Chains A and B, each alone.
Chain A
Amino acid sequence: MTTQPLLQVRGLEKKFPIRGGLLQRPVGWVKAVDDLSFDLNRGEVLGLVGESGSGKTTAGRSILRLIEPTSGSIRFDGEEVTGLPPAKMRALRRRMQIVFQDPYASLDPRQRVRDVIGEALTIHNIGTKADRRDRIAALLQKVGLTADAMDRFPHEFSGGQRQRIGIARALAVEPDFIVADEPVSALDVSVQAQVVNLLDDLRRELGLAVLFIAHDLAVVRYISDRVAVMYLGRLMELAPSDSLYDRPRHPYTRALLSAAPEPDPDAPKQRMLLEGDVPSPMNPPSGCVFRTRCPYALPACAEPAASIPREVAPGHVVSCIRDDVIMA
């Protein structure tokens, strides 16, 4: 049983209605996530990157069913999660947690830290009242805070410290899996490194599986075993980190990597500058959604077949029909 992936996502789709007019009737749909499939193993970190609006947050939340997926299958530890009745879902939530981007907005300002963390313990009936205090103290220590933090309010902490509290809250119920949605994007670089190190230590120590969503491609490489690249709701490429960064195959991944500024004035600046903007997600291009900005696009790229992800090397999935480009 242990060889089975912890999480198996197949054909995940999430559509949001766009409302308009006086009556706020749906006037169209945004496919925020379209046909997303991947596995996540126990103790593994999968990085999820892509530009704003590419569907990363929606994917993460759909998997936890914090929002209802439109279709597709999500199996967690062998059990189908979609359609699970609320009581069973609550029990499962204990094993799946989330850490949010904004450490300022994600903590209730009126709750003391001990209640922020203790709430999850109460909901899931973990431990007795008496030993909860010890548990909370131990959790705070684990994330690099002192036990006296327990009696203070979130506004008394810096951004990095608040993010540590958010992580402690997620870890309180001893999950197997966490979605970390841009956990360091709001932090200063010097503090970002503190939190990245902490997450890296925790996943090693606790064997956590993590879906790590971020903009910063270097941070993602640093922390992830494998990386998935999304564009306009679709998976463009998925591969072990080193293959993806050292030998990106999809034209979009290549463009994304070459656009990332490096802190080295001598770094070669051979840019693959993409023209134009990401098209509207309400009206995405047919076939390969990247084709309106892709320098290699052919007429065939507008056909449905061009959007299908395929394995081009062991564990290396690419959604592009041009073998001459992706194998080059």
Chain B
Amino acid sequence: MIDGAMDADITLDIRNLETHFAADPGVSKAVDGVSFTVRRNETLAVVGESGSGKSVTSLSVMRLIPTPPGRIAGGEILFRGRDGRVRDLARLSEKEMRSVRGNEIGMIFQEPMTSLNPVYSVGDQIGEALRYHQGMDRKAARAEALALLKKVGIPAAERRLDEFPHQMSGGMRQRVMIAMALACRPTLLIADEPTTALDVTIQAQILDLMRRLQAETGTSILFITHNLGVVAEIAHRVVVMYSGRVVEEGDVRSLFKNPRHPYTRGLLACMPNLGQSRGEAARLEAIPGNVPSPMNRPKGCTFAPRCPWAEPACTTAEPALEPVSPDHSARCRRWRDLP
């Protein structure tokens, strides 16, 4: 038991997580020493380009890493459950994990069709979680499922209860996923690219819904996305991942207004501005090159080959994640020099 080792308002405390995949030859360190915390009532966004290790991090927390080839090779995933007890998810048995997943931790994925069962009605699927985890009877579970569908704003909820996932639009399926994830009043909600497959008008509805539900329930949200616009919209704090590591972390305002890592700055600079006319827009600042593969990470700072600020020392030793201000840190030896 690890009670007391963690602030009372922290829901999730990931410490030095290492998740590796066996590769041929060698090993791919998809997540390579990642640490961050998520507090109660807080939305933490993890942002980064594809392959940076966002999904592997979230799958590690849920213990859904396919083994083999994958395994959690090190670190701790401290999680505070509904009863206030702190456990290290990295060390729970599969049986114990089953009582956490879909219960104390809710999950929403990018493509709801992969996580909804096509042969059960949505009412039965939501009800199933309530019966399994909360021991409700069939009738109570159905009533609760109906209440949840209404809560997530599904029109004609009574009728929808008996429909199957394929009869619904993408946005509606995502609402069903959210209803299911919230069914057992989780203390932590993990949302991995929950709006990436949706159109912007539907995305706006879903983000609005998530904000309202958090205000009501105080659930901590771990929100994974590659879209900085969505981050600015939903997050309180932000973790920027690059090539399996955290390169910058901070509250959302510091991160957007005063980024201290060249990668974060590059990501912000390469996005065109919706409010800027073509005539006055400068050429987009592209980041040269590509994200390195975890099998082939550059020595020293992994961003060095693409970094306009790189100096010779950058390629010899990996910089540490240094505090910039009380709630802001950056993994760059030159963070003080950036304008």
Residues of A within 8 A of B (CB): 51-52, 158, 160, 188-194, 196-197, 200, 215, 217-219, 221-225, 241-242, 245-246, 255-267, 269, 271, 273-274, 276-278
Contacts and interface: CB of A to CB of B under 8 A. Distances in A.
Contacts of A197: 283-284, 286
Interface string B96-120: 0000000000000000000000000
Nearest to B171: A277
Interface stretch (B25-33, B180-188, B199-207, B321-329): B199-207
Rank and list the top 9 A-B pairs by shortest CB-CB distance, nearest first.
Answer: A261-B229, A190-B287, A193-B270, A222-B272, A193-B286, A259-B204, A51-B199, A188-B49, A194-B286
A261 B227 contact: yes
B228 interface: yes
Given A261-B233, A271-B204, A276-B155, 11 more contacts: A189-B226, A190-B306, A191-B286, A192-B270, A215-B200, A218-B272, A245-B277, A255-B201, A263-B232, A266-B253, A277-B172
A262 B230 CA distance: 7
Nearest to B290: A158
Contacts, number: 133
A260 B203 CA distance: 9
Contacts of B93: none
A69 B171 CA distance: 30
A93 to B, nearest CB: 30
A219 B275 contact: no
B223 to A, nearest CB: 13
Nearest to B155: A276
Contact of A241 (B49, B202, B278): B278
B171 A259 contact: no
Contacts of A266: 253, 257
Contact of B208 (A190, A191, A271): A271
Contacts of B273: 218
B176 to A, nearest CB: 13
A204 to B, nearest CB: 11
Contact of B290 (A160, A261, A264, A277): A160
Given A256-B200, A262-B274, A263-B228, A193 B205 contact: no
A195 to B, nearest CB: 8
Contacts of B306: 190
Interface of B: 49-50, 155, 169, 171-172, 199-205, 207-208, 226-233, 252-253, 256-257, 266-268, 270-279, 281, 283-288, 290-291, 306
B252 A265 contact: yes
A189 B267 contact: yes
Contact of B200 (A160, A193, A259, A277): A259
Nearest to A160: B290
A255 B199 CA distance: 12
A219 B203 CA distance: 18
Contacts of A191: 286-287, 290
Contacts of B274: 217-218, 221, 245, 257, 260, 262
A273 B201 CA distance: 7
Contacts of B275: 245, 262
14 contacts: A51-B201, A52-B199, A158-B290, A189-B270, A193-B287, A194-B287, A221-B276, A241-B277, A258-B204, A261-B203, A265-B256, A265-B257, A274-B204, A278-B169
A263 B265 CA distance: 12
A165 B270 CA distance: 22
A262 B270 contact: no
B277 A242 contact: yes
Given A221-B272, A264-B232, A273 B208 contact: yes
A198 to B, nearest CB: 9
A189 B284 contact: no
Contacts of B268: 263
A255 to B, nearest CB: 6
A188 B272 contact: no
B213 to A, nearest CB: 15
A43 B328 CA distance: 47
Contact of B271 (A200, A263, A267, A278): A263
Contacts of A255: 201
B270 A190 contact: yes
Contacts of A52: 199
Contacts of B270: 189-190, 192-193
A262 B229 contact: yes
B277 A190 contact: no
B67 to A, nearest CB: 28
A219 B272 contact: yes
Nearest to B266: A190
A218 B229 CA distance: 11
B208 A261 contact: no
Contacts of B288: 194
A189 B252 CA distance: 19
A65 B202 CA distance: 32
Contact of B49 (A190, A218, A258, A260): A190
Contacts of B230: 261
A276 B169 CA distance: 10
A324 B231 CA distance: 36
A156 to B, nearest CB: 13
A221 B203 CA distance: 20
Nearest to A49: B200
Contact of B232 (A196, A246, A265, A274): A265
